[in-house]
Amino acid sequence: METLVSNTALCTVITCSSYAIGVRVFEKFNKNWLNPLYTVTIAVICLLALFHVDYDRYTSGSGIFSLLLGTATVSLAVPLYKQIKLLKKHLPIIISSVACGMLAGVACIVLLAKGVDLNQEMTLSLIPKSVTAPIAVSISQSLGGIPSLTVLFVITSGVFSLITGPLFFKWGQINSRMARGLALGASAQALGASRAFEWGELEGAMGSMAVSISALFMTLISPFFFHLSFV
């Protein structure tokens, strides 16, 4: 009991202080690749090494964060509810485009993974990488992937999409504001939605809707994909 309390305290202090610094740095330089998730992860790893703290000790103290990640996922209902009018109005476009995007993305992962002969654990960790991180973690777990790798994949593909997305819209002549918001939300998740809000209210609303709908869709289809690719 005592060790659990001290581990939790240790984990909380290290994580929160690194986060506070990481966010400051990100706000100051405002570069995509300085995303706090990268810088804070590196900072935590350095701190653990510096003070000779065992990773397992850190992980055993992280229960409080998994609990809060659960309540955070529940909280996602709020932005979705706020946009219920817009959602109802454009439901067919939103669902069909996000569903097509997700299906194509998973198909691409499964086919390429077979093509380059990637091991199964990695493939399973890749499958949920186009949905928002907390949901991706639970999907990854239930598929038998490695959740921490999945989070890394989600963030990396998010940052990649955030950088290449605007270039692609220009090149592919995507002029529809809805299409831009939806695509960025579906591929870069929360990062994409907040960027889309900078373009405009409609883009942002579409972006955050794509985040919720993709999570919903992927949660429902992922068990099917698992059977399809490995039986």
Partner 1 sequence: MVRILLQFLTILTIYLTGNGLVAWLHLPLPGSFVGMILLFAALSLGVFKLPWIETIARLHIRHFSLLLIPSIIGVVHYTGAFKTEGIKLAIILTASSFTVLLVTAFTAEYFETRRKRRKQDGNISQ
Q: Is the dihedral of CA 110, 116, 119, 125 positive or negative?
A: negative
CB of 2 or CB of 227, closer to partner 1 = 227
CB of 1 or CB of 92, closer to partner 1 = 92
CB of 1 or CB of 44, closer to partner 1 = 44
Contacts of 143 (CB under 8 A, 6+ apart): 124, 127, 128, 222, 223, 226
Contacts of 94 (CB under 8 A, 6+ apart): 87, 182, 206, 209, 210, 213
Shortest Cβ 1–partner 1 spacing (Å): 20
CB of 2 or CB of 171, closer to partner 1 = 171
Rounded Cα–Cα distance for residues 17 and 121 (Å)? 33
CB of 1 or CB of 36, closer to partner 1 = 36
CB of 2 or CB of 140, closer to partner 1 = 140
Q: What is the CA radius of gyration of the chain?
A: 19
Tokens 């439901």 locate to: 91
- Please say whether the beta carbons of 220 and 138 come within 8 A: no
Shortest Cβ 2–partner 1 spacing (Å): 21
Shortest Cβ 30–partner 1 spacing (Å): 15
Shortest Cβ 141–partner 1 spacing (Å): 8
Shortest Cβ 105–partner 1 spacing (Å): 4
Closest to 183 in 3D by CA, of 159, 160, 156, 211: 211
Shortest Cβ 52–partner 1 spacing (Å): 14
Total count of residues recorded for the chain: 231
